[in-house]
Amino acid sequence: MDLHSGLPYWIVKNQLFNYHHPLKEACTVDVAIIGSGITGALVAHELCLAGISCAVFDKRTIATGSTGASTAQLQYEIDVPLSAMIDKVGESASVTAYHASLQSITDLEQVFESTGVHPNFKRVSSLFLASNQSGFRLLEREYEVRRRHNLPVSFLHADALLAAHRIEAPGALKNTAAAQMDSYSAATGLLKYHRKKSDLLLFSHTEIVSYQERKGGYELLTGEGIPISCKYVVVAAGFEAGQFLPKQVMDLISTYALISQPVQPSQLWPERSLIWETATPYFYMRTTSDNRMMVGGEDVPFRNPERRDRLLRWKIKRLERKFREVYPEIPFVVDMAWCGTFSSTKDGLPFIGPWPGKKRMHFALGYGGNGITFSMIAAQVIKNKLVGVKDEREKIFGFERLGR
Ligand SMILES: Cc1cc2nc3c(=O)[nH]c(=O)nc-3n(C[C@H](O)[C@H](O)[C@H](O)COP(=O)(O)OP(=O)(O)OC[C@H]3O[C@@H](n4cnc5c(N)ncnc54)[C@H](O)[C@@H]3O)c2cc1C
């Protein structure tokens, strides 16, 4: 499956991590991580810090899956609003999931601070706009429940929103706990960091095509027929993880993004907030460190990559129009556009941990609009499991909930 097409800005802006290193001979490692995107990179980071020997395998050029196409907004809000999630999975699990998501933004920040990797991580405010009156009522419910559970949030009515953010909408929820980054640079930066410290093996262009459970671990087989012996496998294969799962757990979605030419910093919107809305599918926007505007959305159910790509021109026009509805006074000229694959789960939560009965195969599947914050959580939960530390998040994000 093509995970994206068109020109994802990050792969153009950053120098491509030009690393061609396929596995050529049989190898043995404690943990084999399948996937070198932001999830695999964060898992590798956590395991290396814990002194666990690991190797990352990717069938593509490093980090050129969804991670290269991501708009990389980091928000504690999950695609399913807290007030609605409570109805799906209960109050305690929902609140823990929201707080875990909030904490993961700080944890990501600390990962970059401690490694000296600079993926343009920046704290920004976030605005969740009411798209219409029913969206306004959702914001009222959301505000009340988030306040009750000590999540950072304030309510802006229409006049305050217009005065502070120049946006005409019925209202918005605001918080200052969000952030943005460049996930391609983050993933490649972390992998390079651990390569340099010589504690990580990294193999590109190495597809894992099958696996066999053995006493005390797994034997994986590459497309070239080369065996890899390991005690544990971590599947961080993004939306292609289905081949390792006994059953389908997510729906695939096609999504679209574009980036404008740079403008003068003074022409950008107040606070350079992350902006999104209550409508489904939602439209969202952010700025970049080089004063561009990145907008995305227009999601449709995934059918196949050809169909997704055929819609690109039409989707560009719709996203441009959406942007102009919010900020008609800001000059917006599209520079690049791309489409990608995304996925969602029924309760908006990721799948992290082993499939029941397969104790040594862990999944790190950060599905949904918060894929990257979920990747951080997955890396910690899996590390904790391997070193024997109890983690309350395991229960909430594990596959066991499918049977409930
Ligand atoms: C347009 C777009 C916008 C997005 N915006 C946001 C956002 O604002 N905020 C946010 O948090 N998330 C966002 N996401 C989601 C986020 O980008 C993803 O959740 C995240 O990048 C997934 O990272 P990953 O490492 O799990 O997957 P990937 O980056 O796809 O990496 C998986 C890797 O596994 C490799 N692989 C797969 N199968 C095999 C195999 N059998 N053998 C070897 N290698 C294999 C692939 O080649 C790939 O490189 C967005 C996604 C898209 C497409």
> For 164-185, what is each residue's pLDDT tens digit?
999 999 999 999 999 999 999 9
- When the pLDDT of each residue in the chain is averaged and rounded to a whole number, the result is 94
Q: What is the pLDDT of residue 367?
A: 75
Q: What is the pLDDT of residue 158?
A: 98
Q: What is the pLDDT of residue 360?
A: 96
Q: Is 297 in the pocket of ligand 1 (CB under 6 A)?
A: no
Ligand 1 atom with the shortest distance to the CA of 39 = 25
Q: What is the pLDDT of residue 27?
A: 96
CB under 8 Å to 18, separation ≥6 — which residues?
Answer: none
Judge contact between 222 and 208, C-beta under 8 A: yes
Residue 278 CA to residue 274 CA, distance in Å, equals 14
- Percent above pLDDT 70 for the chain: 99
Given a cut of 70, the residues of the chain with pLDDT beneath it are 1-4, 404
Residue 250 CA to residue 171 CA, distance in Å, equals 32
Q: What is the pLDDT of residue 402?
A: 85
CB under 8 Å to 357, separation ≥6 — which residues?
Answer: none
Judge contact between 151 and 99, C-beta under 8 A: yes
Q: Which of 372, 374, 375, 377 to mutate to test the pocket of ligand 1 (most atoms within 8 A of CB)?
A: 372
- Domains defined along the chain, listed by start: 20-70+184-249+348-403 (3.50.50.60), 122-180+251-344 (3.30.9.10)
Residues 69-109 have pLDDT tens digits of 999 999 999 999 999 999 999 999 999 999 999 999 999 99
Residue 174 CA to residue 72 CA, distance in Å, equals 19
Q: What is the pLDDT of residue 76?
A: 97
Q: Is 345 in the pocket of ligand 1 (CB under 6 A)?
A: no
How remote is the CA of residue 238 from the centroid of ligand 1, in Å?
5
How remote is the CA of residue 37 from the centroid of ligand 1, in Å?
6
pTM of the model: 0.97
Residue 186 CA to residue 120 CA, distance in Å, equals 9
Q: Give, using CA atoms, the residue closest to atom 49 of ligand 1.
A: 65
